Structure 1
Amino acid sequence: MRSVLSVLCLTQVTGWGIVFFAFALLSKDISADTGWSSTWVVAGFSLAQIVSAAVGIPVGRVLDRYGPRVVMTAGSVLASVSIVLLTTAHDLTWYFAAWTLIGVSMAGVLYQPAFAALTHWSGENRITALTTLTLVGGLASTVFAPLTAWLVEDLGWRQTYLVLAVVLAVVTVPAHFFGLRRPWTPQEHSHEHAPRTIARSRPFVLLVVSVSMAGFAIYAVVIALVPLLSERGLSTTTAAWALGLGGVGQVFGRLGYGWLSARTGVRGRTVGVMLAAAVTIVVLGLVPGPALALVAASILAGAVRGVFTLLHATAISDRWGPAGYGQLNGLMTAPLTVSAAVSPWVAAWLVAPIGGYPPVFLVLAAVALVAGALAAQTGQKATAERVFTVKAP
C-alpha cells in the first residue's frame, strides 16, 4: 500500500501543479500575448472546472468497476495532449475547446480518482492515507509555481506549457500505468446500499447540498481574502502573507483530522466543521484589525479549509462504506466543484451592491451557517424506505 500512496503523492503534486496551478502564473501572459481580455482567459479555466464536475459523475462509475489504473492513465495521456493543443490556440474557439478537454482530463488525474483508490485499498487506514495524500498534494503550488515562473520568463507561456506537458506525461503516465496495478475487485453492496438507492435518499441529497454550500463559502474566501484585507488597510505584502499563512493553517487542519475523526461522530463532525467555517468567516468580516488579529483569523480559516478537504473525501465512506464510492463521490463532487468555480465571481459581483468585502464575508458566513443546519439533518444510512420518488414527466 505504501507504494501506491507514494505513486499517488507524486502524481497529485505533478497533476495539480501543472493542470491547475500553472494557469495562475500564466494567465496574464496568455492575455498579453493573445490580446484576449483577462475575463475570457479566466473563463476558459472556469469552463474546465465545470466540465470536470460533469464528467466526474460517469468517471465515478468507471472507477467503481475498473479501478483507478485505467482512469488515471487515460487521464494523464489526455491531459498532456490537451495542454499541447492549448499551446496552439490562436482564437478563442480553439482555446475553449482545449480547456474543455483539459476539464475532462481533470476528472481522471486529480483528487477524485486518487481518493477512490485510497478508500478502496486502504480500508480502515483510509484517513491516514488520505491525510498524507492531501498534505503532500498541498505542495503542488510550492513546487510548480516557482518552476512555472522561471520557465515563462525565458520561454513565454506557449513553450512553458509545452515543457510542462512533457513533464506531466513523463511523470504521471508510467506512474499510473505501472504503479496502480494492484487487484481491483468491485465491492458488492446490498440493494439497500446500492449507489442508486443512496443517491436518491434524503440524507445524501442534503449532504450534497450542504457540502456544496459550505464549499461555496470556504473557497470564495480564498480569492476574496486579499481584497478584504486591503479594504481593512493592510498592505498588499501583509495581505499576501496572511493568505500564505492560511495555507500553513490548512496543513495543521489536515494533520488534526485523524484526531477529530476518532473523537466525533460523522454528523457532528460535519456540522462542527461547517459552523467553524461560518465563525471564522464572520470574524474576518467583522474584525477591523489589528493586522495580527486578521492574520490569525486567516490561519484559522485555512485550518478549517484543510479539515473540509478531508471531510469531503471521507463523507461517503464514513456514512455508507466504500462500496460505490467512486460513483457517489462523483455525484457529490460535481456540484461542489461548480460552486467552488463560481464562488469567486459571485463574491466579486456582490461587492458593489452590498457595499464592500466585509458585508460579502457576512453573506458567505450565512451560507456556511445554512450548510451546517442542513448537514445536521444528514444521517449515516440511506434505506429504501427513505428515498425520493422520481416521477416521470
Structure 2
Amino acid sequence: MTDRPRGGLLALCLAELVSWGLLYYSLPVAVTPIAADTGWSQTTTMAALSVGLLISAVAGIRVGRLLDAGGPRTVMTLGAVLGVVALLVVAAAPTLPVFFAGWMLAGLAQAATLYPPAFAVVTRWYGSARVRPLTLLTLVGGLASTVFAPFLALLLDQLGWRATYVVMAGILAVTVVPLHAFFLNRTWTPPPSAEPAAPASPPAASSALRTETRARVRAVTRSPRFVLLQVVVSLATFTLFAVTINIIPLLVHRGASFGLAAVALGLIGLGQVSGRLGYVALEAATTPRLRTVLLLGAGALGLWLLAFVPGPVALLVGISMLCGAVRGCLTLLQATAVSDRWGTADFGAVNGVFVAPVVALTALAPVAGPALAGLLGGYPPMVLLMAGVLTLATALAART
C-alpha cells in the first residue's frame, strides 16, 4: 500500500516492545519495592495500573477516530511524549493520589501507543496482507516482559524505584518518541480511486465528510452482530486472563511449589508466542466465525481441565500453556475481527469502539480473579466459573 513508509513496520515493532515494557509491565515488576518504600499495599499500588487501563479503554475510542482522520504520527508521538511525562509524575509522586494521577496519564499514553493504534496503522499499511505483519508485531510486543522484567529488576535493585522510573522516562523519550515521529505517516494518502471533491468550500466539504464517516461508524458499531462480537471477545479475554494471571495460587493449591508455579507463569508467556506463530496457518484455513469458535472452544476446554484435573503438576503446566496459546491467538483475533467482517474502511474508529470493553475487562481481570476466588471459596471454583462463562461465549461466537 502506498501509505507504508520504509522501515515503518520494524520501527513500530520496536516502539511496541518498549511501550509495553515501560507503560504496562513496569508496575508489576516494581510493585514490591514501591509498596515497601511507601507503605501502600501492593493491591492498592497495582490498582493504579487498572485505573490507567480503564482510562485507556475510554480514550482509545477517540484515538481511533483521530488516527483515521489525520494519520498516526501526531497522535502516537504525542502519546509517547505524554508517556514520558506520566513516568516522571510516577517517579516524583509524594502521595498515593499523585501516584494514581501519574498512571491515569499513563492510561492516556497507552491509548495512543499500545496495540490498538498500532493495529490500526498496520491494517492501513498492509490491507488484505495484514495478518503476517500483525503477527510479527505481536510477537515482538509479546517479548516486552521477557526483555524488560529482568532489566527493570536490576535497575530497581541498583537505583531504587523512583530513579528507575526517571530512567524509564528517558528510555521512552529517546526511543519511542523518535520512532513515532520519523517512521509514521504525517497524513494518510487518499486512495488512488478517490474522485475529486465536489465544488464546495473546504469547511463545508470537511464537515460533510466527517458526518458521512460518523454515520458509517455508527452503522457498524451499533449493529447486533458487532455488539455480540464485542461481548464474545471481551468475555474470552477476561476469563482466560483472570485465570492465567493468577495461575500461581491455583497451582500451589494443586500441590505445586511456589517456584514451579512461577515457572508455569513464565511458560504461559511461551505458550502465547507459540499460539501467535500458529495463527497465520489457522487464519488461512478457517473463516472468521469458525476461527473464533475454535479458539474460544479450545480456551474453554483448557479452563475446564484446570478446574477438574488434580494433577500431576506437569500436566497442569501443559494445560496452562494451552490456555496461554489461546490467549496469544486472541490478541491477533482481536486485531483482525473487525477488518475480517467489515473491511478496513474507518478501521481506527470502529476498532477503537470494539476494543474498549476488551481493554476495560483486561484491566479488571487481575483483581477480579482473587476477588472471585475469595467469594467462591478458592481458586478451583473461580476457574470453574470462568470455564462456564467462556463456554457460553463459545456458543455465542457461532452467531458472529
TM (norm. structure 2) is 0.91
Query: AA paired with 1:132?
Result: L
Is the Cα–Cα contact under 8 Å of residues 70 and 187 in structure 2 kept in the other structure?
A: no
After superposing on structure 2, the runs of 4+ consecutive aligned residues of structure 1 that deviate more than 6 Å are 186-193
Is the Cα–Cα contact under 8 Å of residues 13 and 140 in structure 1 kept in the other structure?
A: yes
Deviation at residue 210 of structure 1 after TM alignment:
0.9
Work out the CA distance in 2 between the residues paired with 1:44 and 1:255: 33
Matched, 1:38 2:60: no
Q: C-alpha deviations, 1:254-300, integer Å up to 9, x for none?
A: 01111101111111111111111110111111111111211110111
Work out the CA distance in 2 between the residues paired with 1:186 and 1:313: 23
Q: Match of 2:379?
A: 357
Is the Cα–Cα contact under 8 Å of residues 213 and 346 in structure 2 kept in the other structure?
A: no
Work out the CA distance in 1 between the residues paired with 2:113 and 2:214: 31
Equivalent of residue 114 in structure 1, options 115, 118, 129:
118
Is the Cα–Cα contact under 8 Å of residues 65 and 186 in structure 1 kept in the other structure?
A: no
Equivalent of residue 326 in structure 1, options 345, 348, 352:
348
Work out the CA distance in 1 between the residues paired with 2:304 and 2:269: 19
Matched, 1:88 2:92: yes
Equivalent of residue 140 in structure 2, options 125, 136, 141:
136
Work out the CA distance in 1 between the residues paired with 2:340 and 2:292: 11
Residues 1:265 and 1:298: Cα distance change in structure 2 (over 3 Å): same
SS in 2 for 1:194: helix
Equivalent of residue 294 in structure 1, options 311, 316, 323:
316
Q: Match of 2:58?
A: 54
Matched, 1:343 2:343: no
Work out the CA distance in 2 between the residues paired with 1:291 and 1:222: 15
Q: Match of 1:220?
A: 242
Residues 1:44 and 1:186: Cα distance change in structure 2 (over 3 Å): farther
Is the Cα–Cα contact under 8 Å of residues 115 and 313 in structure 1 kept in the other structure?
A: yes
Deviation at residue 354 of structure 1 after TM alignment:
2.2
Work out the CA distance in 2 between the residues paired with 1:96 and 1:186: 41
Residues 1:260 and 1:288: Cα distance change in structure 2 (over 3 Å): same
Query: AA paired with 1:60?
Result: G
Residues 1:39 and 1:291: Cα distance change in structure 2 (over 3 Å): closer
Work out the CA distance in 2 between the residues paired with 1:39 and 1:140: 23
Query: How do 1:167-246 residues align onto structure 2 when only pairs under 5 Å count?
Result: 167-181=171-185, 184-185=188-189, 194-246=216-268
Matched, 1:272 2:311: no
Work out the CA distance in 1 between the residues paired with 2:385 and 2:121: 37
Work out the CA distance in 2 between the residues paired with 1:289 and 1:184: 54
Gapped runs of 5+ residues in structure 1? 379-393
Deviation at residue 145 of structure 1 after TM alignment:
0.8
Q: C-alpha deviations, 1:312-352, integer Å up to 9, x for none?
A: 00000000111111111111111111111112222212223
Query: How do 1:145-184 residues align onto structure 2 when only pairs under 5 Å count?
Result: 145-181=149-185, 184=188
Work out the CA distance in 2 between the residues paired with 1:39 and 1:128: 38
Deviation at residue 191 of structure 1 after TM alignment:
8.3
Deviation at residue 367 of structure 1 after TM alignment:
1.1
Gapped runs of 5+ residues in structure 2? 195-208
Work out the CA distance in 1 between the residues paired with 2:43 and 2:261: 24
Deviation at residue 182 of structure 1 after TM alignment:
6.8
Q: Match of 2:77?
A: 73
SS in 1 for 2:7: helix
In percent, how many aligned pairs have the same letter?
49
Is the Cα–Cα contact under 8 Å of residues 275 and 372 in structure 1 kept in the other structure?
A: yes
Deviation at residue 353 of structure 1 after TM alignment:
3.2
Q: Match of 2:282?
A: 260
Query: AA paired with 2:313?
Result: A
Stretch of structure 1 that moved more, 365-374 or 230-239: 365-374
Residues 1:293 and 1:216: Cα distance change in structure 2 (over 3 Å): same
Q: CA RMSD in A?
A: 1.7
Q: Match of 1:102?
A: 106
Is the Cα–Cα contact under 8 Å of residues 74 and 186 in structure 2 kept in the other structure?
A: no
